[in-house]
Structure 1
């Protein structure tokens, strides 16, 4: 009787089932555990249990299953060729020579490597572009219009003389410092008919205007004194105490980006507020307030008192320090 006939007879005796139970019997007779076998074959215990149950479909593939059967039977000193022949008779020959051949397509022959300098530099350029765009957006959100300092317009005082002519006197003459002697600017006098006169000519031609000029100078001096007293009172006004708790309430008529920080730089609020909402926040003074869209702001209240500020920013961005200095 040939080997193939013997294998066919054994297969019929086992009822078309691989005799995996013999692995269990042989292992127990040799005093080995599943973990011992797994350690020797460098496989997981789950694979050993699948082999002993004949559950080859739980293994990665039949090619691997055939190799595991060969290694396991060799470890247990069993007849390796017999178990391989039974496996091939039941599941077909899956030897290396009969393993399916895989054909690669021409498009997949060249694969880009992560270490390629082109890929590496492209990735760095992309990351830097993202960082630059983020910084630019943050500066746009945080930035405000530069402070525009305008010199105050020169004020003038019109004095009507006795003969009906009008004298235009710069008010800067009346605000001179008593302790310093500043050079006096040339005074141009304009008559009612539009004729420009020099100071000497005006003094010689309109001597009657002395009384009117004297009264005008007196009124200017009184206004200067009143303004000086107001400035002294403002200087003596108490400044806000740093670190005191204040409450801030802002109403919004439309969507607006807002940021609030206390005097230590701690961010108390930073978000986009929708129209019709309110922002209520408390912190240690002074508070730094940034409004990204001033036309969307209704009212600003500090400790219940309304805060007045310039709403004429061309970009719509307004920065405030609250309480405002007097």
Structure 2
């Protein structure tokens, strides 16, 4: 007896004998549905996706009968890059350029690059590593270093500076005192040759009844140490000879004119001032304040250097002195002759 059997029909089996149901036998294999789907609908890994993309590009190139060299020349790329694209070995090239290679090659072959690009999955970003907070011990160490630095600076540097300042101040005071004493002795021995009178135009309640300026010895600013001459040079030889000779006639002495001139300087504002007499002796070399008044009795011509011309008023033998530039706050240097004329230097 022959039995006709159709190869396409499932073989009926008994569930009891084999322990499986008919549904399990007739159900298609898992790969059957995958085979019917399109490549764009597959869920592939990165490596398989690149291989699928390369296979698609290669089939399209062969279909259009284009060689690798021709495509490389048209895209201005190396044939090695296109060969790697078709083989699916894109990992040899930087990730930044892979999508551009696929997009340009697909457009050259007449394909839509969007489905091919979707097959290539982006590389996952590296996981973030937690950053541990800095240890508190380091913070305490930094604070300790700062405190130690401040302590060292305060202890080692500041006390010597204060000590040097104090010592230097005492030396300056001693030097000023010695200068004033030397200037006083010089003024007493020099006689009537040169006299400096200082005063102030500011009213003083204690001296309201006295309108005459006080005559004081030459100050240290007027006669610094560098300008003090030896005592033997400042003493007039004629005075020494006259000490041994008989005194001159009183009538002739009173009739002889005084060759010295009186220069009065008043300051309306702070200014630097330098004054020299006819012999080159420096009478003043200092910064004078507003309201101060100085009188110099010496032989003309006087050489003057004014730091601010408009801050100083001059008078010679009771006559006001006018000169060019006295209304400007500039430096002015000139010679003041005995007749009150001004000669520029």
Q: TM-score, normalised by structure 1?
A: 0.24
Higher radius of gyration, 1 or 2: 2
